[in-house]
């Protein structure tokens, strides 16, 4: 049987992450409509599930038959009041790694996986795909300025032992960004006592290890931010390798939906 070609995508849980990844899938198909390939999107089960997600993916499957959705087996979420929602979500995604590995191996039995495109929060699946010699790319939906900040976060981490939430009056300087008050850093990295902080550190340390970073922006909008990522200024501690290429594909905006259709 002749092998087919596919791209596998892995968004974080939640309709917002799924829609973003689907929009990227639609863009890729639009620009490569003359080629025969499919896109498989892996969806977790057990966290942030909602009937609206099922109705959405059914609609996309009908209008874009080249986009195939696969639900990973359900995993029980044990959220406690002693940890943040971000920490719970990151633990849940990490628990799905074995299911992702199983599905990737299944797909490779009949298809050549040209790329594995992941959400930043799905970094735990990177090692599995890389060990299978599948090129791993990030899809970063927050723009180049946030990308440069997150890319530089591991460096910022080494320069202090205090949680950002306690650094009142202190400003953070990251390439490509204006000075930012430490207490206004993204919520998952505010508190070093939160497991989410260390998960974010792990995610951001792996940005430079990808084959490329797809960013929902356009170069003229964020000239400096894109440049510092491309030049490697945001990865000062990465030696002996070039920074990953940056692909600006924005603005990527979903079509308007009916009010109340999604959560």
Q: Tens digits of per-residue pLDDT, 110-129?
A: 999 999 999 999 999 999 99
Question: Is residue 133, in this structure, part of any structural domain at all?
Answer: yes
Whether 178 maps to a domain, the answer reads no
Q: Is residue 46 part of a domain?
A: yes
Does some domain include residue 263?
Answer: no
Catalytic residue positions? 17, 119
Q: Considering the entire predicted model, what is its pTM?
A: 0.93
Beta carbons of 13 and 120 less than 8 angstroms apart: no
The pLDDT value given to residue 80 = 73
Q: Are 126 and 115 contacting, i.e. CB atoms less than 8 angstroms apart? A: no
Backbone CA torsion sign across 207, 139, 83, 151: positive
Q: Which domain holds residue 95?
A: 4-143+206-248
Assess if residue 177 is contained within a domain.
no
Residue 18 belongs to some domain of the structure: yes
3-state secondary structure 140-187: ECCCHHHHHHHHHHHHHHHCCCCCHHHCCCCEECCCCCCCEEHHHCCH
Q: What is the pLDDT along the chain (263 residues), one digit of tens a residue?
A: 456 899 999 999 999 999 999 999 999 998 877 678 899 999 999 999 999 999 999 999 999 999 999 999 999 987 777 789 999 999 999 999 999 999 999 999 999 999 999 999 999 999 999 999 999 999 999 999 999 999 999 999 999 999 999 999 999 999 999 999 999 999 999 999 999 999 999 999 999 999 999 999 999 999 999 999 999 999 987 766 789 999 999 988 887 654 444 43
Biggest distance spanned by C-alpha atoms of the chain: 64
Helix (H) or strand (E) holding 248: strand 246-248
CATH code at position 233: 3.40.50.2000
Contact 38, 4 (CB under 8 A): yes
Is residue 156, in this structure, part of any structural domain at all?
no
Kindly state whether residue 109 falls inside one of the protein's structural domains.
Answer: yes
**How many domains is the chain built from?**
1
pLDDT at residue 257, rounded to an integer: 59
pLDDT tens string 17-37: 999 999 999 999 988 776 788
């Amino acid at each position: 049987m002749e092998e087919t070609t596919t791209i596998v995508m892995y968004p974080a849980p939640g309709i917002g992450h799924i829609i973003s990844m689907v929009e990227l899938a639609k863009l890729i198909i639009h620009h490569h409509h003359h080629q025969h390939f499919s896109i498989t999107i892996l969806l977790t089960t057990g966290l942030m599930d909602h009937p609206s997600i099922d109705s959405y993916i059914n609609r996309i499957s009908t209008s874009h038959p080249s986009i195939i959705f696969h639900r990973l087996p359900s995993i029980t979420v044990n959220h406690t009041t002693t940890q943040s929602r971000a920490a719970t979500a990151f633990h849940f995604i990490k628990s799905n790694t074995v299911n992702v590995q199983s599905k990737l191996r299944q797909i490779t039995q009949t298809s050549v996986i040209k790329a594995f495109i992941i959400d930043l929060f799905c970094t735990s699946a990177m090692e599995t795909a890389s060990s299978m010699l599948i090129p791993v790319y990030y899809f970063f939906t927050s723009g180049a300025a946030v990308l440069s900040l997150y890319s530089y976060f591991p460096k910022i981490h080494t320069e202090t032992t205090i949680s950002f939430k306690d650094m009142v009056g202190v400003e953070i300087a990251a390439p490509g960004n204006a000075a930012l008050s430490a207490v206004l850093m993204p919520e998952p990295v505010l508190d070093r006592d939160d497991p989410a902080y260390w998960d974010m550190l792990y995610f951001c340390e792996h940005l430079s290890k990808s084959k490329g970073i797809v960013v929902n922006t356009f170069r003229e909008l964020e000239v400096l931010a894109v440049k510092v990522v491309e030049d490697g200024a945001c990865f000062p501690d990465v030696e002996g390798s070039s920074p990953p290429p940056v692909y600006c594909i924005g603005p990527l905006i979903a079509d308007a939906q009916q009010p109340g259709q999604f959560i």
